[in-house]
Amino acid sequence: MMSSAAASRSDITRQIVVISAVVFMIIAAMFGAGVLGGTPVQDLQGGALSANATVLAPASSAFSIWSLIYLFMIAYTVWQALPSQRDSERQRRAGYPIALTAVLNGAWLLAAQFTTLILTVITIVLLLAALGATIRILVRTPPRTIAETLFTDVTVGLHLGWVTLATVANTTAWLTAEVAPSSWAEVADAWGIAVLVVVVLIAGATAIATGGRLAPALASAWGLLWIGVGRFSGEPESTPVAIAAWVAAAIVVLVPLVMWATGRRGELALRR
């Protein structure tokens, strides 16, 4: 058993690490937006990450969700730094994992700026894995207050839901730009729809594993809606992919709603 003094020092260290990680993420985000001299993400990697690079790239308006995610991350950072959260057992379990997701978030932006597409894919897959592990911790240690739900669970849930979709878009961008043959374009619609089916399965599994949490579903659905908009009104145009994306968005949101309506949230959540 740690002494109370040692525990207090450990808790303060955790709070400082979370603050540092989120500050790093925000600075990297500002650099990635071109505010601090960096190149905007849509112009990086020869345009492979732009809104019209592939059939699974969301329209540019979709990326406004990052502002919401960053806002929640900042709010969480301030809240977890309060003295009342210092010795929270839930924060002891989730604080460092959340800090890791912030670092990986910032690392993706730096990878996009200075390295290669394949490294961005590796980084975002690591981020997705870290977010999945973090939400598992939160499911196993349920929130006791509305504040815990809002600042911790909703924050991680939105991040997870969006990164699930972003991982698909990032991987598709890499495959299209560097791996797939030129004949890929001829079957892009079919592949796009197939991948959207996989996204629905992943999002559905996430809803079941998290006991019907809405935040991941809403973030994923947001991205799917804007994939539909991008393919219906932008380039590369694809009405089949647009319709499939909109249907996928509806299904992704319906799964947790059905779980709530049928009272099956708790029994389908991850076992503690």
Question: pLDDT at residue 7 above 60?
Answer: yes
pLDDT at 25: 96
* Average pLDDT score over residue span 68-92: 95
pLDDT tens-digit readout, 196-224: 999 999 999 999 999 899 999 999 999 99
Question: pLDDT at residue 250 above 60?
Answer: yes
pLDDT tens-digit readout, 32-79: 777 767 677 777 777 778 888 788 999 989 999 999 999 999 999 999
Question: pLDDT at residue 271 above 80?
Answer: no
pLDDT at 43: 74
Q: List CB contacts of 203: < 8 A, sequence separation 6 or more.
A: 161, 164, 216, 217, 220, 252, 255
Q: List CB contacts of 95: < 8 A, sequence separation 6 or more.
A: 14, 15, 17, 18, 80
pLDDT tens-digit readout, 101-157: 999 999 999 999 888 999 999 999 999 999 999 999 999 999 999 999 999 999 999
Distance, in Å, from the CA atom of 164 to the CA atom of 167, rounded to the nearest integer, reads 5
Please report which residue ranges of 38-116 form alpha helices under DSSP H. Answer: 65-80, 89-114
Question: Which among 199, 243, 200, 85 has a CA at the least distance from the CA of 152?
Answer: 85
Question: Which among 160, 236, 240, 163 has a CA at the least distance from the CA of 196?
Answer: 240
pLDDT at 177: 80
Question: pLDDT at residue 85 above 80?
Answer: yes
Strand (E) or helix (H) holding 215: helix 214-233
Distance, in Å, from the CA atom of 20 to the CA atom of 174, rounded to the nearest integer, reads 31
- The model's confidence at residue 270, banded by pLDDT at 50, 70 and 90, is very low
pLDDT at 99: 98
Question: pLDDT at residue 231 above 70?
Answer: yes
Q: How far is CA 268 from CA 3, 81, 197, 217, 219, in A?
A: 38, 33, 22, 16, 21
Question: Which among 161, 216, 168, 164 has a CA at the least distance from the CA of 192?
Answer: 168
Q: Is 114 exposed, middle or buried (0-12, 13-18, 19+ CB in 10 A)?
A: exposed
What are the sequence ranges of the domains in the chain?
A: 4-268
Q: Which two tokens stand for residue 113?
A: 């700026």
* Average pLDDT score over residue span 236-252: 94
Cis peptide before 236 (omega within 30 of 0): yes
Distance, in Å, from the CA atom of 120 to the CA atom of 109, rounded to the nearest integer, reads 8
Distance, in Å, from the CA atom of 150 to the CA atom of 94, rounded to the nearest integer, reads 14
CB-CB contact of 215 with 157 (8 Å): yes
What phi and psi values does residue 44 have, to the nearest 5 degrees? Answer: -85, 165
CB-CB contact of 88 with 81 (8 Å): no
pLDDT tens-digit readout, 155-190: 999 999 999 999 999 998 888 887 766 656 678 889
Most trustworthy range by pLDDT among 9-13, 31-35, 248-252: 248-252
Distance, in Å, from the CA atom of 249 to the CA atom of 241, rounded to the nearest integer, reads 12
